[in-house]
């Protein structure tokens, strides 16, 4: 219920929202949790395993119980913490993990079976029969357990990622963080202040403390006003720093759209920030821990600090008759604030003896040992001086003390230190390079101490960054001592809950110890304590205290489990933002792309490039028809193909020729100007890296061609060679791939076509096979190379890329007028297989020059990269699988790439493997299936028969081993 006159919500701005289909009212500034509590809604969810009714436990991002699904359909966001989700007009929220409804959850039958379902139950019970696990047990368990469900629909929401840079990142905007940011900003540092709350101020918004004589939130507003007026400060509310990484980099998740209606589809839901900073100050505060006692999970049992927060920040009394239970002085504040606000406090139960307080009933030296009420708390039972007493109450505010939020300090494998005086772990100094710690997360719990530590940390940061800063006059604030006595769990019968989110009880942890899972890491895995969305923020320390007790060790000896990023759940969509759909990878389009798609060419991806597969003609219904036609066109007339995607590297300088001789197996220093040579390049380990042609354009000027897929690899290789192996060589290298639009003009009529276009006609004498030089088309200067991948009389013509589209259309029109036309990648592949030319299907990284029949291309007159390694005995072994051609000889005419080869009469099993097929096609030129393959002693076996067996597709074909050059082996056609 709302409490008049309390809270920082805007009562002039009512907001309507629905929960499980029922409309409720809240105010601007409310979270779903505060608005539901204001409407007296206690039951908000069902627990993970036993489907126990659960209510709001906390008021922050650590909330384990109040998980809701926001939105519907593809927009539904499961596992949203109601304590974080702000209300806005039209918000639709539903409860989770219940069927058919939250009030009547049939899966709650699990709770009755609880004696059988304790920790380790699955491991022990579902071992046998083995096959049942996947088919029966797991599906059933998965159906019964769990949190919210995904919609199963593609996510249509936008997310984003961004970078930010600063001198100082302050994590958390409570008193320590605000003070740190203020001091650092005044000293001139570039400051980012990130806070996960929608409203900055931390506990100062949740308490009634005065700061500098003003209400805490008033002081916060003044500081924020000053900070926002400074150009060197960036305030990032709703931003949770999720992880600390190397080099001063922090991950952070900003909620951008979650708190607003979906009125702009372009607005991201979340932004995942990578913040790079020189220094950081962690001011993450502390999280209150519950006390474990029987039925302490009843809706209405909350942490004491949360009850205070709902009262002071949101003007909500979570109950009409509240009891307080704690082991520390801080819990008393809850009772005082409630009474001051006119809320009835039935009793304050303090586990410590001798506590006296004014204004309400105090039961000192007592413990709460049970809670009653099914879907909402009705009463508690206390144990005092050996007697039990029942107290009627609808809200219990409990406090087992506060745990500093040390998480981020442990992200680089640092371990926190036990501080016996506050019964908590505190950060170990220097755990994250460049990160300082201040305030409650450092174990300084009073407001005055937070302000002081924040200022001091900022001074250290300023000094480290060479800025001068003075200690400011700290505002006057409460400096109450934090007195606490150990109380982890209240002994007794029944289930006392430690981890609300994973339904782990004190008994489960003790059972782990009994079963010898005594290490805290083993206990965690055995019981699942500390898993799921809250990652044990509420339960870790209490659970390990119970474990310590059960194993007879102290808490520091027991230690903590490993804290890992992210601090709060981060959607995968945020981490991968922008990389879906066309953002997955850059798309590279040739200048002829538009013209090719206009002709209906299906595209295939080669590297990042999109290349036309084939060009369907009217009446053609299959790719094969188009492909056969295109091949015949090239063999009989002239074909046009965009080959701009091949890598082109411009190499110039006095030592350019030396570089080529060093990286290629064959020699290029002897290549005449105006000539082109085919080259083979090895990796350092002696295997083939790439192949291609290199043209000599001038005395010290070459242009190297690489395959499409290996262009980047070869460029990197050349840079490595130049920078690391031969930095003494004077030369220049730069990619010119994209500067030129280059088209293959292939076929017997290629020269005739070109001569209709070129400003100066060409002939065999001036442009023999493997020549190159400058040409011009209508005054536009370009380059011409007489080279051939198809085995036909062919050229590649290159013009500046801006003219690519225009020249392409021109070439196609001319070709079509001569009985030719376009050909795509399918036809290109057939043409090269007919000629036995290799691609990366053959030079796939495990083949040598020897294997592909180019052993003699490794020059004996000079050294080259990979030469020595390629001469290792194992790589020159005639038994190696070497390149051959295959043709079918039996009734089955199909040869399939990837199939393996076996000798006739051998069983088709691994040990009899003779090789494998790499490329295959139907050759319209030869009217049969052709294939390239690697076969043991291949070239020595021409004329033999081998069995091709494709185990995956169930095809077996008898093949004859032949020379891989199927068509025009003399090479007469290429010379025209």
Partner 1 sequence: MVELIAKSACDGLLPKTIGSLTLSEAAPEAITSVTPFRGQEAAVSEALKAQIGAAWPAPNRMTGRAGARVVFSGRGQAFVLGPRIAPIAGAALSDQTDAWASVELSGTGAADALARLVPIDLRPGVFRQGHCARTLIFHMPGLVMHTGQDRYGLMVFRSMARTLVHDLESAMEAIAARG
Q: According to the binding rule CB under 8 A, does residue 797 interact with partner 1?
A: no
Nearer to partner 1, 246 or 421 (CB): 246
Q: According to the binding rule CB under 8 A, does residue 805 interact with partner 1?
A: yes
Task: Say which residues have a Cβ less than 8 Å from residue 137's Cβ, sequence separation at least 6.
Answer: 122, 126
Are 886 and 954 in contact by the 8 Å Cβ rule? The answer is no
Q: What are phi and psi of 511, to 5 degrees?
A: -60, -40
Of the residues 134, 246, 264, 421, which one makes contact with partner 1 according to CB under 8 A: 264
Hey, which bits of 85-216 come out as E strands? 91-95, 160-171, 191-194, 210-211, 214-215
| Beta carbon of residue 676, minimum distance to partner 1 (angstroms, whole number) | 19
Of the residues 178, 688, 807, 827, which one makes contact with partner 1 according to CB under 8 A: 807
- With CB under 8 A as the contact rule, which of the stretches 118-126, 298-306, 729-737, 914-922 interacts with partner 1? 729-737
Q: According to the binding rule CB under 8 A, does residue 734 interact with partner 1?
A: yes
Site string for partner 1, 215-254 (x = CB under 8 A): ----------------------------------------
Are 748 and 972 in contact by the 8 Å Cβ rule? The answer is no
Length of the chain (residues): 976
Q: According to the binding rule CB under 8 A, does residue 963 interact with partner 1?
A: no
Of the residues 736, 889, 909, 926, which one makes contact with partner 1 according to CB under 8 A: 736
Scanning residues 350 to 409, which ones bind partner 1 (CB under 8 A)? none
| Beta carbon of residue 775, minimum distance to partner 1 (angstroms, whole number) | 13
Are 451 and 475 in contact by the 8 Å Cβ rule? The answer is yes
Q: What is the dihedral of CA 337, 340, 344, 346, to 10 degrees?
A: 60
Cis omega (within 30 of 0) for bond into 100:
yes
Q: According to the binding rule CB under 8 A, does residue 799 interact with partner 1?
A: yes
| Separation CA 655–CA 52 (nearest Å) | 78
Of the residues 11, 165, 483, 774, which one makes contact with partner 1 according to CB under 8 A: 165
- With CB under 8 A as the contact rule, which of the stretches 316-324, 390-398, 584-592, 855-863 interacts with partner 1? 584-592
CA angle 130, 132, 136 (to 5 degrees): 155
Nearer to partner 1, 112 or 585 (CB): 585
| Separation CA 351–CA 709 (nearest Å) | 72
| Beta carbon of residue 728, minimum distance to partner 1 (angstroms, whole number) | 9
Q: According to the binding rule CB under 8 A, does residue 430 interact with partner 1?
A: no
Buried b (16+ CB within 10 A) or exposed e, 377-403: bebbbbbeeeeeeebebbbbbbbbbbb
Of the residues 133, 803, 916, 967, which one makes contact with partner 1 according to CB under 8 A: 803
Nearer to partner 1, 435 or 799 (CB): 799
Nearer to partner 1, 653 or 855 (CB): 653
Q: According to the binding rule CB under 8 A, does residue 806 interact with partner 1?
A: yes
Of the residues 124, 130, 142, 266, which one makes contact with partner 1 according to CB under 8 A: 266
Nearer to partner 1, 437 or 718 (CB): 718
Q: According to the binding rule CB under 8 A, does residue 580 interact with partner 1?
A: no
Q: Which tokens in the block code for residue 835? A: 């000629």
| Beta carbon of residue 762, minimum distance to partner 1 (angstroms, whole number) | 17
Of the residues 204, 256, 680, 858, which one makes contact with partner 1 according to CB under 8 A: 256
Are 25 and 88 in contact by the 8 Å Cβ rule? The answer is no
**510 — alpha (psi -120 to 50), left (phi > 0) or beta?**
alpha
Q: According to the binding rule CB under 8 A, does residue 160 interact with partner 1?
A: yes
| Separation CA 373–CA 393 (nearest Å) | 10
Question: What DSSP assignment string belongs to 624-682?
Answer: HHHHHHHHHHHHHS-EEEE-TTS-EEEEESTTHHHHHHHHBSS--TTPPTTBEEEEEEE
Of the residues 757, 841, 896, 908, which one makes contact with partner 1 according to CB under 8 A: 757
- With CB under 8 A as the contact rule, which of the stretches 70-78, 553-561, 776-784, 882-890 interacts with partner 1? 776-784
Q: What is the size of the binding site for partner 1 (CB under 8 A)?
A: 57
| Separation CA 320–CA 342 (nearest Å) | 10
Q: What are phi and psi of 960, to 5 degrees?
A: -100, 140
| Beta carbon of residue 171, minimum distance to partner 1 (angstroms, whole number) | 19
Distances in whole angstroms, Cα of residue 194 to Cα of each of 46, 199, 220, 240, 410? 32, 11, 15, 7, 19
Q: According to the binding rule CB under 8 A, does residue 732 interact with partner 1?
A: yes
Of the residues 576, 653, 773, 855, which one makes contact with partner 1 according to CB under 8 A: 653
- Token pair 């505002």: residue: 475
Cis omega (within 30 of 0) for bond into 733:
no
The helix/strand count (H/E) of the chain reads as 23, 50
Q: Which tokens in the block code for residue 541? A: 């320390």
Nearer to partner 1, 650 or 913 (CB): 650
Q: According to the binding rule CB under 8 A, does residue 800 interact with partner 1?
A: yes
Are 687 and 847 in contact by the 8 Å Cβ rule? The answer is yes
Nearer to partner 1, 52 or 255 (CB): 255
Q: According to the binding rule CB under 8 A, does residue 194 interact with partner 1?
A: no
Of the residues 349, 455, 744, 777, which one makes contact with partner 1 according to CB under 8 A: 777
Distances in whole angstroms, Cα of residue 967 to Cα of each of 562, 837, 866, 873? 66, 11, 32, 33
Of the residues 321, 571, 735, 859, which one makes contact with partner 1 according to CB under 8 A: 735
Q: According to the binding rule CB under 8 A, does residue 190 interact with partner 1?
A: yes
Q: 122 in helix, strand or coil?
A: helix
Of the residues 156, 723, 760, 860, which one makes contact with partner 1 according to CB under 8 A: 723
Nearer to partner 1, 378 or 650 (CB): 650
Site of interaction with partner 1 (CB under 8 A): 158, 160-165, 190, 256, 264, 266-268, 271, 274, 276, 578-579, 582-583, 585-591, 609, 650, 652-654, 723, 730-732, 734-740, 757, 777-778, 780, 799-807, 810
């Amino acid at each position: 219920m709302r409490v008049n006159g309390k809270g920082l919500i805007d009562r002039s701005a009512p907001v309507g929202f629905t929960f499980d289909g029922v409309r409720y009212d809240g105010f601007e500034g409310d979270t779903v949790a505060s608005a539901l509590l204001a409407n007296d809604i206690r039951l908000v969810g069902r627990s993970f395993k036993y489907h126990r009714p659960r209510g709001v436990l906390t008021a922050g991002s650590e909330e384990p119980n109040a998980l809701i699904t926001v939105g519907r359909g593809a927009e539904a966001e499961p596992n949203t913490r109601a304590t974080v989700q702000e209300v806005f007009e039209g918000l639709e929220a539903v409860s989770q993990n219940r069927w058919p409804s939250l009030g009547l959850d049939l899966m709650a039958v699990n709770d009755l079976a609880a004696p059988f379902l304790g920790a380790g139950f699955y491991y022990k019970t579902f071992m046998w029969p083995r096959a049942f696990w996947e088919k029966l047990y797991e599906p059933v368990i998965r159906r019964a357990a769990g949190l919210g469900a995904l919609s199963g629909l593609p996510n249509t929401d936008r997310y984003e990622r961004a970078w930010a840079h600063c001198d100082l990142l302050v994590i958390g905007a409570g008193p320590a963080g605000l003070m740190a940011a203020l001091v650092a900003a005044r000293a001139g540092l570039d400051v980012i202040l990130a806070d996960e709350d929608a409203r900055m101020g931390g506990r100062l918004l949740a308490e009634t403390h005065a700061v500098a004589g003003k209400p805490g939130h008033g002081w916060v507003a003044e500081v924020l006003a000053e900070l926002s007026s400074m150009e060197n400060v960036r305030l990032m509310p709703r931003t949770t720093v999720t992880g600390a990484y190397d080099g001063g980099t922090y991950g952070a998740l900003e909620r951008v759209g979650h708190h607003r209606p979906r009125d702009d589809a372009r607005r991201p839901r979340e932004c995942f920030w990578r913040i790079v900073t020189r220094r950081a100050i962690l001011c993450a505060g502390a999280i209150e821990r519950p006390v474990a006692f029987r039925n302490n999970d009843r809706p209405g049992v909350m942490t004491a600090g949360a009850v205070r927060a709902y009262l002071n920040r949101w003007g909500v009394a979570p109950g009409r008759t509240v009891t307080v239970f704690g082991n520390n002085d801080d819990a008393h504040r809850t009772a005082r604030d409630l009474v001051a606000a006119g809320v009835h406090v039935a009793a304050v139960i303090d586990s410590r003896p001798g506590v006296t307080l004014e204004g309400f009933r105090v039961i000192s030296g007592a413990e709460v040992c049970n809670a009653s009420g099914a879907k909402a708390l009705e009463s508690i039972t206390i144990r005092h001086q050996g007697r039990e007493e029942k107290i009627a109450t609808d809200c219990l505010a409990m406090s087992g003390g506060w745990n500093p939020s040390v998480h981020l300090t442990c992200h680089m494998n640092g371990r926190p230190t036990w501080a016996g005086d506050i019964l908590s772990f505190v950060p170990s100094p220097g755990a994250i390079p460049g990160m300082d710690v201040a305030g409650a997360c450092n174990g300084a719990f009073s407001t005055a101490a937070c302000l002081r530590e924040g200022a001091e940390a900022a001074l250290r940061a300023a000094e480290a960054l060479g800025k001068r800063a003075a200690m400011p006059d700290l505002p006057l604030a409460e400096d109450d001592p934090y007195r606490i006595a150990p109380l982890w769990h209240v002994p007794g019968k029944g289930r006392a809950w430690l981890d609300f989110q994973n339904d782990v009880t004190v008994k489960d942890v003790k059972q782990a110890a009994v079963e010898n899972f005594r290490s805290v890491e083993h206990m965690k895995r055995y019981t699942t304590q500390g898993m799921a969305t809250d990652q044990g923020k509420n339960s870790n320390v209490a659970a390990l205290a119970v474990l310590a007790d059960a194993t007879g060790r102290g808490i520091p000896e027991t230690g903590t489990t490993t804290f890992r990023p992210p601090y709060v759940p981060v959607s995968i969509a945020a981490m991968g933002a922008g990389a879906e759909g066309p953002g997955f990878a850059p798309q590279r389009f040739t200048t002829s792309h538009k013209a090719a798609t206009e002709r209906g060419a299906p595209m295939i991806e080669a590297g990042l490039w999109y290349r036309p597969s084939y060009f369907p003609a009217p009446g053609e219904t299959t790719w094969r028809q188009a492909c056969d036609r295109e091949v015949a066109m090239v063999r009989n007339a002239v074909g046009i193909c965009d080959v701009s995607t091949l890598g082109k590297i411009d190499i110039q300088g006095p030592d350019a020729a030396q570089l080529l001789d060093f990286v290629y197996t064959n020699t290029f220093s002897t290549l005449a100007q105006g000539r082109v040579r085919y080259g083979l390049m090895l990796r350092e380990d002696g295997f083939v890296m790439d192949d291609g042609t290199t043209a000599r354009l001038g005395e010290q000027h070459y242009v190297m061609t690489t395959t499409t897929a290996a262009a980047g690899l070869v460029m990197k290789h050349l840079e490595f060679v130049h920078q690391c192996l031969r930095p003494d060589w004077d030369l220049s290298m730069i990619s010119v791939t994209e500067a030129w639009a280059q088209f293959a003009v292939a076929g017997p009529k290629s020269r005739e076509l070109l001569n209709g276009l070129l400003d100066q006609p060409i002939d065999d004498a001036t442009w023999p096979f493997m020549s190159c030089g400058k040409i011009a088309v209508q005054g536009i200067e370009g380059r011409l190379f007489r080279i051939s991948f198809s085995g036909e009389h062919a050229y590649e013509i290159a013009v500046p890329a801006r003219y690519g589209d225009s020249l392409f259309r021109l070439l196609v029109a001319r070709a079509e007028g001569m009985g030719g036309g376009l050909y795509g990648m399918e036809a290109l592949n057939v043409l090269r297989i007919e000629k036995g030319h290799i691609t990366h299907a053959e030079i796939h990284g495990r083949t040598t020059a020897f294997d592909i029949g180019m052993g003699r291309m490794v020059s004996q007159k000079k050294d080259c990269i990979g030469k020595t390694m390629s001469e290792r005995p194992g790589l020159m072994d005639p038994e190696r699988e070497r390149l051959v051609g295959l043709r079918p000889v039996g009734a089955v005419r199909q040869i399939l790439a990837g199939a393996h080869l076996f000798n006739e009469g051998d069983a088709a099993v691994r040990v009899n493997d003779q090789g494998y097929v790499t490329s295959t096609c139907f050759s319209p030129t030869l009217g049969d299936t052709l294939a390239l393959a690697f076969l043991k002693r291949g070239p020595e076996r021409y004329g033999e028969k081998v069995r091709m067996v494709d185990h995956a597709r169930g095809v077996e074909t008898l093949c004859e081993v032949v020379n891989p050059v199927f068509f025009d082996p003399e090479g007469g056609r290429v010379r025209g």
